[in-house]
Amino acid sequence: MTSNAQELLSVAMVTLGCARNEVDSEELAGRLEAGGFRLVADPEDADTVVVNTCGFVESAKKDSVDTLLEAADLKASGRPQAVVAVGCMAERYGKELAESLPEADAVLGFDDYPDIADRLRSIMAGETHEAHVPQDRRLLLPITPVERALSTAPVPGHASGPASLRRRLDAGPTASLKLASGCDRRCSFCAIPSFRGSFVSRRPSDVLQEARWLGEQGVRELFLVSENSTSYGKDLGDLRLLETLLPELAAVEGVHRVRVSYLQPAETRPGLVQTIAGTPGVTPYFDLSFQHASATVLRRMRRFGDPDSFLGLLEQVRGHAPAAGVRSNVIVGFPGETEEELETLCDFLVAARLDVTGVFGYSDEDGTEAATYDGKLDDDEVRARVEHVTTLVEELTNQRAAERIGEEVEVLVEAVGPDGDVEGRAAHQGPEVDGSTYLLGATAEVGDLVRAVVVESEGADLYARVL
C-alpha cells in the first residue's frame, strides 16, 4: 500500500446511538488510519462507508437500517464502493442482519474490530465476509469480576497502548472517554448485557493516558461514559476506584471539566456523591438512572428503589451541591403498570425537581425477561401514558430552568454562529441531551469558559449575560 494519501483507500465513519458508540467509532477510525486508510467526513467522498449502528430499541434499529440503505443507495454513483455495518446492531443480530439486508456488503461484529483494516481491505477486494452467529457475550468472560482482566475477548473502546490509536472525528471542546463496558445487572427490560457483555473496567492508567492525549487535542471537558459508571473498579479489586480516579482526571493539563454519566441509584454511595459534588474540576452533575419510582414496578424491572430512597439520594446530592445538575430517564407503560403506580412516578417527578427527564414508552426487546411478562398494555395506552408523563416533565423542566434565573454559571462555548451568537453549556448541562446556554452580547471562541448570570429560560435552555 502506497503512503501517498491520494492513493490510499478512503473510509467514512457514520456513528449512530450513544456517546459510547462515538468512542468506539474513534477507536475504529484510529485503527483504520494506522492500517493504511484515509479518513474522510462525507460518505460520497469515500471508497467505503462504515456505519456504527445502534441496537438498543426499535426506533434506533430502524434508524440504523435506514442509514445503511441510504449509504448503499450512493453506490449507484460509484462512490462508495462498499457499505459495512458495525456496532451494537451488527453484533446483536450478525448473520440475521446480513441476510435481511443484502444492500450492506458486510456485517462485522466486535471480534472483527482489532483487524478492521484487513477486514475492509478484503471486502473492497470483493471477498465475501461470513457474518457471525450472535452469542451472549457475557459467556466470553469469567463470572467472577476480578478474573476478567485475564480475558482476551475484544472490548470496543478499551484499546490499550498508544492513545493515538484513537482518532478524533469531532473537533469540539468536549470528548467522551470510556470508563468501562458491559453490565452485570439483569434489568428485565434491557438486552444490552447480552451483546455488550459483562462489566469490564478499563485500567486507570489507560483512562488517564487517553485523558492526557485528549487534553493535548484541545479537549476542555471529559465526558466519562459506560453502561454503569458506579461499578467502576469492582473487577479491579477496588469499588471506590472512581473516587480516586476523578481528582487525577481533573488535574490533567488542558482539561477544565470532568463529567460522569450513567450512575445507578442503588449503587451511588455517599463517598462517590461527595467526590462528584466537591472535587474541583469535577462537575456536580448526576445522571441517575431511576427508570421508575414505584417500588413494585422497579421490582418487576429487576431494579431497586422507591420514592423515599430516591428523594433521600437527591437530598444528599443537593446537600453537598445545591445547584447540582440532575437528569434521569423513565420508562412508562411497563407490563402490569397500574394507574396508581403511574401516579407514584408522577408524584416523584414533581418532588424530585430534575433538570431534564427522558420519557420512554415500554416496548418488548428480543431476549429480555420482560418480553415474556403478562399484563402488557396495548400500544395506544402506552402512547397515552408517554404523552401524559411527557407533558408533566416539560412543565417541570420549565420550572427547574426558571429557578436558575439569577444563578451564576460557567459556560463552555461549543458553537459561535455566523452572526456571532454564542452557544454553550453550563455545568449542570450534559452534552446534547440537557439543553444549551446562550450568551447574550458575548464575544467568544469555541472552547472558551465564560462566567455569566442566567437572565431567562426557555424549556431546558438558558439565556445568560456575561459578567
Nearest to 430 by CA among 326, 335, 309, 278: 326
The backbone torsions φ and ψ at residue 147, rounded to the nearest 5 degrees and listed phi first, read: -90, -5
Distance (Å, whole) CA 201 – CA 179: 6
Cell numbers given for 55: 441496537
Instruction: Please give the annotated binding residues for [4Fe-4S] cluster, written as ranges.
Output: 18, 54, 88, 183, 187, 190
Q: What is the DSSP letter of 308?
A: H
The maximal CA–CA distance of the chain, rounded, in angstroms, is 68
Beta strands 200-201 and 180-181, pairing class: antiparallel
Strand order in the sheet with 356-361: 285-287, 325-332, 356-361
Cell numbers given for 233: 473498579
Helix (H) or strand (E) holding 456: strand 449-458
Instruction: Please give the annotated binding residues, written as ranges.
Output: 18, 54, 88, 183, 187, 190
Distance (Å, whole) CA 397 – CA 21: 28
Q: How many CB atoms lie within 10 A of CB 351?
A: 13
Cell numbers given for 22: 462515538
Cell numbers given for 250: 481533573
Which residues lie below 8 Å from residue 320, measured CB to CB, with a gap of 6+?
273, 274, 277, 278, 284
Which residues lie below 8 Å from residue 108, measured CB to CB, with a gap of 6+?
84, 85, 86, 90, 116, 119, 129, 131
Cell numbers given for 377: 398494555
Distance (Å, whole) CA 442 – CA 63: 37
